[in-house]
Every structure is written in structure tokens, then in C-alpha cells.
Structure 1
């Protein structure tokens, strides 16, 4: 499913403000360090924007990143962040949110730490951290701080890689490279990302209800930096839907998207 934030057209061809999506899968969790299924990743994309995102034409464009400067050798990415991005609790989005989120994946040995290492993002120091995790070693704060991600100031993020990565901007649109609000996450503890109340976003939508195995509902984030272009007021995900039933609902105009095998 490609969710176009500038508007949607329903199954009857009309512009809609409520978009209903049927999924064969359930949302497992909204923790970007662990979520590894399509349904969870779609939900994360709805509530959180990273440095970059995919537009309605499938192109990678800036999101939290206002601009990016690449060093002459292609190894240092310096991102200037937008100052009009806010977490939905009103906190400003800063470069520190990215540093915390990326280090947290290694700290909790999340599913995606390999994405930061050689052969993929190739972030400086990430391979050494991955090797230590694979060897069963515990990481220290000094270990984590050795990784090539640094908040130069609140709105400047520096990322260093060991080789030039031509698809780096594409990677930054994947949830494991998203940001996390440290204060909120630490307060939630092990509950983070496991309920509508335990996720804090900065994206186009705010999760208002999540009943595992049944439904997830989202409302438009009126404080989103591109709120004026978001025509969808409400997003509904019907979870664990029988494909045949979902297809029938789509044909009847009751849903706007359904997987059809």
C-alpha cells in the first residue's frame, strides 16, 4: 500500500477523507528497532517521519532533514533538520532523537542492528558493535558513542560512513533509521510501541486506537509540518482480515484497499 498524504481516492473513484485499509496481517508492535512485518511498518510510517520519506511518485524526498551536505569523499553526511517538526506531545524534534534511537537498537540488540553495519549503511563503528553483539559481549556507553552518528547541535546531525553508500538516502526512509523521543521511550520502558498510548510520533497521523487482531485507527496530526496537504482526516486499518472477505468489502465500497490474491 502506498499512502498518499496529499489525498486519496476511494474504491468508487471519489476523493475521501477516511481511508480504510484491510490487512491479512496484524500489527506486532510500533517499535522501529524490532518491527519486522509489513503491517507494523505501515503503521510506523503513518505516525513517524524520518530524515527522508517516499513521496506519492515513489521518489525519496527530505522529511525531517531540511538539507543534506555530503563531504567530497562521500563519507560524511551532514543533515540540517527542519525546526517546524514537533513530537505530538509538543516536544521539538532534534538531532539527539536520532542519536538516541540508533544507539538504542544496539543497546537492546534490536532486530536491525545489522542494517547499520558494513554492506548496508556502513556507518562508522557499527560493524564493530555488531561483532561484539554477535560474540555475546555487552556494549558500554563508550562503545555506543564510538558509532559515527553525532548531534552537532539540536538541528544538525552528522553521520559518518566507512564507504560511499549510493543508496543512503533510501535507507534513511526505512523505520529502523527513524528517531525516537528518549524521555517518552524511557518512561514507557518495555511497553514502548505496544499500544496506542505507548507510541509518540511526529508524522502525518496520530494513533488513537489499536485493538490487536481487530483494528487500528489514526487521526490527522494537525500540527504536522505538511498538514495542509494531508487530505485524509482518518485512517483505519482492519487487521487480520480474510482475503476473500476483504475483497468483497472492497467491491462493495466498504474499504479503500484490500489485498487480492
Structure 2
């Protein structure tokens, strides 16, 4: 999700409350994601069963195993379904599974599939379709950046890291067409949340194997979900129609969804104002005050973090003191109060607010505390320390520090934040940086390959647990954009994943986050909020704190 939760635009990342409830208002919880089925009322008066919406730009991939973006996850979620799913209230319920029985020790899941589940070409969904899909995701040949999501499953880690060459040894077996046995390494409190995520969806071997283009053609993009993709007009739109083969089609209230693929937030705003869009996840940051006063405006807490990623493999950012200096010189309060102005919380750590600790009445963030002060009154002392660190790194008053590039994907908010950072680093530390706005696909590719100096980054949790944030930075993770590596960190994450003792695993995650922050691999700026525009005559859109946007149960009056 994060569902990776990186979005094509800032507000797109914000809309997804996925791919999770944070940033100041959500209660500490390890249960279902916070959600709303929102709607008030506005311009349209005719009854309709169609929606035209914007949740992101042209997706890099809509392959459930290869997508890493929130918007891509939204497209996929409408066409596919896992053993569990989100219902109209945003809660995790059985999806393709009729029954899930968990052994007393929490290690074995016996799953019975529904007897009325079909692919969109009419073929029956079988247990083997899940086995194939899971094995494909962990197979190193697939190169899924989300293969690590299978760490809880027996042999999952060893398979995707190449230690175990036998993908069939993954802890999922089909005993017949309708029964699965799933074996875990340790009890996993959030496992049924995982089962609702795209990388755990079933796939058709006869369609996917040997066909790298299967997602590009509606004829071969065969899912098992509520909607069938009928058109993909690249860089323009994706069109979904209600599936006649979906077992719960009578509960699906929207017949057609048109996802507009746009990256110009001014054009998105204009389309929304004209009525061409009924839902928009972004608009120019300069228009925030105006929209916040309308009934179309929606904002809620979200589990996610907007941050700066340092390329830890590239000088001078391979120096911890340099990274910490640049982080401390960021005036986080200025950014959220003057630029974004959407109720974000300044981030003093990586894991956001809104996730329970071992004692579920307490918040993981509150228990762990912050790693630097984000109080407005402490900014001057932060800058003083930053100057000292930069001097200790060999760059007194910024002298001799090489000019570097800050990369971000094209969007007015990202640009405004980038310009603020550029000015802060120049004014406070005496160092120069240039700005590079990049098209989404180019930006993602450059960041993943390490072809950058410093870059905008963002993460939205895939499920409600601190590990969804922290396992992002294990060595070799496809989502580890800083390309940071720490063996002690890896060991702590492995420890957290190998025990069902919540006290032990939470402490391991606190210790891991401490290593991440003390090494300044990233510079968190703020915890996300979910902000979007929704026509006031629409209701029933499901938004969760994990970034999900489900239009399946919406109504238009």
C-alpha cells in the first residue's frame, strides 16, 4: 500500500486513509482501520449509478504483486478480492473465504472458500489460484517489492531472499479446490488484515504465466472482484464496470466507475468545479483555505508519514551527521502551518500516531516518544545543533558542501515543500540545492534505483501495526528508498516478526525505530491527514485510514 504507499500526488497519498488512522485524531487500535462512509449534498440532482473520480495518475502497474502505490492499489481493489475484504463500513470481513479457522497456537489457518466465487470470465476461483499467486509474489523472479509482506508465512522470507529455491515450500497448500491450509512462523495478530491486501489476491496462472502484458488489456485483466476493467486509455482514464460474476453483485450500488488519470492539480480542480469529476483527491495547495470552508471538503486522520529520503549510499549523505543536520534544519511547523495547512502533525519520529502498543490503551508513538523536538520554540536550538553537526562533518558554515539535488514528483504541494526546504538549508546551514520535478514513473524509478541525492518520500501503512512502517527499511527491501542498511535493525525486525508476544515484539520495534532515527536515514516532516473533495450528493464512499477508497457501495442522489 504502503498498499507502498507512495502516491502520485501528496493529497493522493492523503486520501488513502492504506494503504491508516494517524496524525492526531485516531485512537490507538490494532483492530479495523478507522473509516468513514462520507457524503453530504451538492450540485447534481439527477439519479445516476456512475461515478467519475480522481485518485491518482497513470499507474506504474496494476499487477497485484508489482504495484507499490496507493492509487494503483485502489484500481486493483475494485477488480480483485482476497480471502478477506473491506465491507461498506470499512471493516475487515470474509471475502472469498466462507470460513477461516485459526488453530489454538495461532500458527495454522484452515480456510474454506465460498462455493459461488467466479472469475470475470465465468471460471470458478479455486484454492490453487491463491497458491499460485502467493508463490508468484515471493518468487525472486517476480521481483515484487512487496514480497516481504509474506514474512509471517512459513518459508516466505527464505524464498524471496533466495535462501530457499523451492517456492512450493511456502506455507500455503490447497487440499482441494475449496480448502486452503496456511502455516505461519509465529502468531500474527494482523494476518487477516494482510489477507485483504492486493499481494494476497488470487491470480489465474493460465492468464498471467508468460504474459508480461496481461494487465494492459481488459481482455486478459481478469479479476474476481466487484468490477471488471473494460478500458484503459493510458494517461487518460481507467474504466470499470460492475461484474456480473461477482457473488455479492446485488450489494454493489455503482454500475460504472471512471478513474481519470491526471497529475495537474489545477486541471483536477477545474474538472471538479465543472462537474466532470465527482471526487477529487487533490487541488492546488494555494486553494486550501477556500476549499476548507465548503461542504465538499473532507479531512480525517491518517496512518502515514511524509518524509525526506537521503541516499545513504552517496556522499555526503552517507555521513550520519550530515543527514541529522539537514533534518534538524527543517522547520516542520512552518511547512504544516504555512504551506499544507491541512491539519497535519509535525513528525518527531517515523511511525505515526494512531497505532496501539503492547498495552492497546496506549499509543505506540506516545510510548516511544519523539527523537527531536518539534516545538516551534525549539527550532533555533535545533538549528544550532544542526550547524554544529555539519561542522563536525567537515563543513563549517556549509563551506565545501557540494551542491545537491532534491527530487520530487510534479505537484504544487511537493514543489512548495521543496522550495521551503531549499530555502531553510540555504539560510540556516549555508548549503545549496537545486530542485528537480519529475514525472511520476520517472521519479519512482530513480528513487528505487538510488539515482538521486535527496528525495521527497511518503509512506502509508498497509495494515494497522508499527511493523508496516518499519519493515520498509530492512536491508534489500524494495521499498527501502534510502538504501540504508543496518544488521542490528534487520535483526530487531526479524525478532518482532518471529514472536507472538506483544510485549517482546513492540519493544523490538521501539528499539528498531530508535536505530533508524538515530542514524537519520530519513527525515520525517509530518504525519498525513486524508484530504479530498467529494460532491455533496454522493454518499457511501468508504475511506479508511490505510488509504483505501472504495466506490463500490456509493450512492448518487
Q: Once the two structures are superposed, what CA deviation does each residue of 1:38-63 show, in whole Å capped at 9, x if it has no partner?
A: 22211111110111111222210111
Match of 1:128 among 153, 158, 168: 158
Instruction: Tell whether 2:289 aligns with 1:257.
Output: no
- Whether the 8 Å contact between 1:47 and 1:201 is mirrored in structure 2 is yes
Of 48, 51, 71, the residue aligned with 2:83 is 51
Name 2:105's counterpart in structure 1.
73
Residue 232 (structure 1) aligns with: 254
**For 1:148-168, what per-residue CA distance to the aligned partner results, in whole angstroms no more than 9, with x for missing partners?**
100011101111101100011
Question: Hey, what does 1:244 align to over in structure 2?
Answer: 266
Distance 1:24 1:223 in 2: 27
Deviations 1:40-91 (A, max 9, x none): 2111111101111112222101110111000010000111100111001111
Higher relative contact order (CA 8 A, sep 6+): 1
SS in 1 for 2:180: strand
Aligned positions, number = 247
Checking the alignment, whether the CA contact within 8 Å between 2:239 and 2:259 is kept in structure 1 is: yes
Q: Which residue of 2 aligns with 1:89?
A: 121
Q: Does the 8 Å contact 2:122/2:245 carry over to 1?
A: no
Find 1:114's aligned residue among 143, 148, 152.
148
What whole-Å deviation, never above 9, does each CA across 1:191-223 have from its counterpart, x for those lacking one? 122332331111111111001211111111122
* Residue number in structure 2 paired with 1:136: none
Q: Which moved more, 1:76-85 or 1:31-40?
A: 31-40
Between 64-73 and 9-18, the greater mean CA deviation after superposition: 9-18
- In the aligned structure 1, how far is the partner of 2:44 from the partner of 2:217? 33
CA–CA distance in 1 between the matches of 2:145 and 2:153?
Answer: 17
Q: Distance in 1 between matches of 2:155 and 2:89?
A: 35
CA distance in 2, matches of 1:201, 1:220: 12
Alpha-carbon spacing, 1:59–1:146, altered in 2? closer, same or farther (3 Å): same
Deviation for aligned residue 1:245: 2.0
- Cross-structure match for 1:182: 205
Q: Which of the residues 228, 233, 237 maps onto 1:211?
A: 233
1:29 and 1:18 mapped to 2: Cα distance? 25
Contact 1:11 1:257 in 2 (8 A): no
The 3-state SS of whatever aligns with 2:161 is helix
For structure 1, the residue ranges without an aligned partner over 5 or more in a row are 134-138
The alignment partner of 1:246 has SS state of helix
* Cα pair distance change 1:47/1:10, threshold 3 Å: farther
Contact 1:11 1:255 in 2 (8 A): no
Note if contact 1:17-1:234 (Cα within 8 Å) is conserved in structure 2.
yes
Distance between the aligned counterparts of 2:269 and 2:175, measured in 1? 50
Alignment partners' CA distance in 2, 1:66 and 1:190: 32
Which segment is superposed worse, 50-59 or 18-27? 18-27
Deviation at 1:240, TM superposition (A): 2.0
The reply on whether 1:39 has 2:71 as its aligned counterpart is yes
Note if contact 1:149-1:160 (Cα within 8 Å) is conserved in structure 2. yes
Mapped contact 1:10–1:256 kept (Cα < 8 A): no
Greater CA drift, 66-75 or 48-57: 48-57
Do 2:262 and 2:268's aligned partners in 1 also have CA atoms closer than 8 Å?
no
Alpha-carbon distance in structure 2 between the residues aligned to 1:217 and 1:42: 13
* Secondary structure class of the residue paired with 1:208: strand
Equivalent residue for 1:26, pick from 31, 54, 58: 58
Is 1:164 aligned to residue 187 of structure 2?
Answer: yes
- 5+ residue gaps, structure 2, are 1-14, 17-34, 284-557
Give the CA deviation at 1:253: 2.4
TM-score, normalized by length of structure 2? 0.42
Instruction: Extract structure 1 runs of 4+ deviating beyond 4 A.
Output: 8-11
The 3-state SS of whatever aligns with 1:197 is coil
- Whether the 8 Å CA contact 2:120–2:244 is kept in 1: the answer is no
Query: Cα–Cα, structure 1 residues 10 and 179, in superposed 2: closer, same or farther, change >3 Å?
Result: farther
